[in-house]
Amino acid sequence: MLFQRDNGGVEWIVVGLGNPGKKYESTRHNMGFLAVDGLADKEGFRFTKLRFKAWTATWNHGGKKVLVMKPQTYMNLSGEAVGEAARFYKVPPERVVVISDDIALPAGKLRIRPSGSAGGHNGLKSIIRHLGGDNFPRVKVGVGIPQQEGYDTVDWVIGKPRGEDEKAIIAALDRAVAAIPYLIDHGAAEAMNKFNG
């Protein structure tokens, strides 16, 4: 092709959102990290390079080169890492897949969207700001919201799911791992039909 972009071959970026550090491991807010770790286990790639303020891995999926990222800024600055990588590789927003937690969804529910607002999620807000719009697909893993009044949302999302919630979320993460390659191959609309519900 005469006008092929020189982007080092990277065609897609997959971003798992979370907070770095031991104290945040396996918390509700780290669903994105857990999903891309699961993807790495399933597809046999490893996060070995710290670039663009993120742990990165290269995943060769069906002849497509995919950059997989775990931003190492805190959640509300995730867009710095994503924006930098997207600009460097000239990857358009519609080929940047973001996996995050969602308190508006019941624990264990998976929802794929081709675009949309941040819905109060600070990581998504930051990415929208740094990509210059909300036209990027996202895979949301429901973590639910506490039923008792006066519960602090921040305490909830940086807490770890337990019992039935934990079981439901583990199952949702498995579906998220399956949804990511499907979305790359078939697009967000078809992935929504197959995995939402």
Dist. CA 169–CA 148, nearest whole Å: 20
Strand pairing category for 138-142 and 96-102: parallel
Q: State the Rg of the chain over Cα.
A: 16
> Taken in order 131, 134, 140, 146, is the CA torsion positive or negative?
positive
Rounded CA separation 123/111 (Å)? 17
b (16+ CB within 10 A) / e for 21-44: eeebeebbbbbbbbbbbbbbeebe
* 186 tagged catalytic: no
Q: How remote is the C-alpha of 188 from its chain's centroid?
A: 14
Is the alpha carbon torsion for 161, 166, 172, 174 positive or negative? positive
CB 101 within 8 A of CB 35: no
User: Which two tokens mark 73?
Assistant: 């800024």
Q: Enumerate the active-site residues.
A: 29
